[in-house]
Structure 1
Amino acid sequence: MTRRMRSEVVGASGVRIGVRIDGDRDAPALVFVHGWAQSGRVWDPQFADPELRERFRLIAPDLRGHGDSDVPEGGYDDPRAWADDLAAVLSSAGGDAVVVGWSYGGLVITDYLRVHGTRGLAGIVFVGAITEIGKGRPGGRVGPAMAGALPAALSDDLDVALPALRSLAEGMAHRPVPGEVAQALLGASLAVPPRVRKALFRRDVDSADVLASVDVPVLVVHGTDDAVVDVTAGEYTAGKIAGASTRWWPGVGHLPFVESAREFDATLRGFAEQAFEGVLGRAER
């Protein structure tokens, strides 16, 4: 039975996390984690894919401070807060889930791994993702579009922030995307309070040991023309995780799930099916 709804879960320190749900409620779950200054709406192409909706339960939370979630004063520089927020979402999935992290969402997944390990995970997909943050961290290396937007994109002065955020939104895709998509990206960024946009960068995280300890299937997907998160960040992540699979997509930027949605969805579907088969196999042994 298909169920489309908006819901919420309670994350760290009682923060209300808005969640979008679609697909078969009895099917294994795909949990989609969006990036910095965006929302769960970025996954619209996946929620519109009938094959994904038929085979999986689709869950897309809004990170704290974003979208329909609460905007607390703190927790943005605390790995445990991010980890426990995601743990609450995963708990609602009703079983082991494949978690998909885009951009900053990859760092949120790494926070979860740091605190909770791979409990509740059938597999992980990193999409144009960072897994570290801070000066000189190879797993967090940004591209020219992000580098050019900072620090202006963090300003509370609209005249300063707006041009930077607009430039960043325009730089996300390498292939043409509909104008409404580009405008939605910009609108989502502007809807995130400046203090939250800034707080997410107030971190210094090394994840080498965390990545090396991952013991579930992992897929790293990255557009080779990503101007927001450099492709070397994806290469670093894949190199630290034993057995990680990779897909490098030439001519694709920071939005592979939009720019090449059909190929992305097929790749995700194949990976998820294998990951869930592995969970069943381990349970039967």
Structure 2
Amino acid sequence: MLLSLKSLSIAIALLPLVVANIQDIQTRDNTIERRVYFLFSASASIINVPCFELADPVIAINPTDANFGVSAVAPGRFVTSADGTQIFAEARGDPSKPAIVFIHGFGIGAMAFNDIFNDPVWLARAYLVRYDTRGHGRSDKPTNAAAWVSQRLAQDFDAVVQSYSLNKPFVLGWSFGAANVADILSFHPPSYISGIIYDAGLPYLAALPNVGSPAGFAVVPGLNQTTNVTQFQTSYIEFINLCHPALEWNFYLGCLGDGVVQPRIILDLGFTRTQNSTGLLQAGTTGALPLLAIFGGDDKVVLKQGVLDAIAGWQNLTVVTLPDAEHFTWISRPLLFRATVLNWIDQHA
């Protein structure tokens, strides 16, 4: 993956550039990862900053019924969940550092985290893993109810963990994707992961009526209908604008594209499936897992108090509100978001 313009600007800002250092590293799953580093002088020390990490090959996304004929290429891999569903995943960063698995929200796939996965500082300090949850992005999109029971979502996470040989990763769930942690902890003990990061996150499905904003709920009927193309288009654009009103154009189009390739029934299947929050809440009230809850000060999708009410009694809880941040918190306040997450992980790794 070549440098993004944002990463390049970071590099230029840190000039003078000394030298590029290329290394081939054997990863924990015995694949070879090529890393390119820029070495910068800073006072009397040398800073070794990775510009990009490519842990996976660039593979084809083949046209299938599950992907509505999507044909593309992307760095990553397909992992097979327990029921045969193909889940698209990708890893970047330093495998020797703490692993963070990023789980995106509804409608917008793992590409939502592009800015993070292209940031050399993130890559230097963590092993970043992301995947398109079933029904999203490049993963399969089953439309039968049996494919959406809680255990299936947990098994998707398991398949990613096993494929990348992760040991007790941290889990960062953004928006609707945060509810997947409740699925994971319904079938695993708290010791399976190192900690939870809710980024404007829905803790579990039953809390949705108190966590979603009125503006967020207002667009749902348009997203869920199948007869009025104009209404769907208008509602999805409104949904993206609620997440952030001023996204970079190509990223904005990518968010809209993820909605186009998703069968409409996925919304019903995802929102109405049953889930048990007992394991999650016990992990919190017993102090078994630390939790970092991040909120955007200008978030128009998720209500902070509703989230905090849903996890009342959590023993090891850190709450951080990013001033002026929209629902895309890491896009609104990238440096503050990065420092908040990485410093917290350093304390709990």
Q: Distance in 1 between matches of 2:143 and 2:224?
A: 16
Contact 1:139 1:236 in 2 (8 A): no
SS where residue 130 of structure 2 aligns? strand
Between Structure 1 and Structure 2, the one with more strand by share is: 2
Per the TM alignment, residue 156 of structure 1 is displaced from its structure 2 partner at its CA by 2.3
Per the TM alignment, residue 78 of structure 1 is displaced from its structure 2 partner at its CA by 1.1
Cα separation, partners in 2 of 1:170 and 1:153, compared to 1, 3 Å: same
- Which residue is 2:201 aligned to? 129
Output one character per residue of 1:175-230: Cα deviation in whole Å (capped at 9) or x when no partner.
x4323333322222222111112211123546366323231221000113221122
Q: Distance in 1 between matches of 2:184 and 2:127?
A: 21
Task: Tell me, yes or no, if structure 1 residue 271 matches structure 2 residue 341.
Answer: no
Per the TM alignment, residue 139 of structure 1 is displaced from its structure 2 partner at its CA by 7.5
Per the TM alignment, residue 26 of structure 1 is displaced from its structure 2 partner at its CA by 3.4
Letter in 2 for 1:252: A
Scaled by the length of structure 2, the TM-score of the pair is 0.72
Scaled by the length of structure 1, the TM-score of the pair is 0.88
Cα separation, partners in 2 of 1:48 and 1:18, compared to 1, 3 Å: same
Number of aligned pairs? Answer: 273
Output one character per residue of 1:52-102: Cα deviation in whole Å (capped at 9) or x when no partner.
111221110100111111122334541111111112222334311111000
Letter in 2 for 1:173: H
Cα separation, partners in 2 of 1:55 and 1:263, compared to 1, 3 Å: same
Q: Distance in 2 between matches of 1:213 and 1:22?
A: 29
Contact 1:34 1:103 in 2 (8 A): yes
Q: Distance in 1 between matches of 2:158 and 2:210?
A: 23
Cα separation, partners in 2 of 1:189 and 1:146, compared to 1, 3 Å: same
Q: Distance in 2 between matches of 1:233 and 1:172?
A: 18
Greater Cα radius of gyration, structure 1 or 2: 2
**Structure of higher RCO (CA pairs closer than 8 Å, 6+ residues apart):** 1
Task: Tell me, yes or no, if structure 1 residue 152 matches structure 2 residue 225.
Answer: no
Q: Distance in 1 between matches of 2:157 and 2:311?
A: 22
1:220 to 283, 290, 293: 293
Letter in 2 for 1:163: T
SS where residue 300 of structure 2 aligns? coil
Letter in 2 for 1:168: F
Contact 1:218 1:245 in 2 (8 A): yes
- Which residue is 2:188 aligned to? 116
1:69 to 133, 139, 158: 139
SS where residue 181 of structure 1 aligns? helix
Letter in 1 for 2:99: A
Contact 1:29 1:58 in 2 (8 A): yes
- Which residue is 1:246 aligned to? 319
- Which residue is 2:12 aligned to? none
Contact 2:211 2:306 in 1 (8 A): yes
- Which residue is 2:273 aligned to? 203
Task: Tell me, yes or no, if structure 1 residue 19 matches structure 2 residue 89.
Answer: yes
Task: Tell me, yes or no, if structure 1 residue 143 matches structure 2 residue 238.
Answer: no
Unaligned runs of 5+ residues in structure 1 are: 277-285
| More displaced 10-residue stretch of structure 1: 124-133 or 75-84 | 75-84
Task: Tell me, yes or no, if structure 1 residue 96 matches structure 2 residue 161.
Answer: no
Unaligned runs of 5+ residues in structure 2 are: 1-24, 26-34, 36-52, 57-75
Q: Distance in 2 between matches of 1:212 and 1:224?
A: 29
2:239 to 150, 153, 168: 168
Cα separation, partners in 2 of 1:90 and 1:240, compared to 1, 3 Å: farther
Contact 2:296 2:326 in 1 (8 A): yes
- Percent of aligned pairs with the same amino acid: 23
- Which residue is 2:307 aligned to? 234
Contact 2:100 2:172 in 1 (8 A): yes
- Which residue is 1:9 aligned to? 79
Contact 2:194 2:348 in 1 (8 A): yes
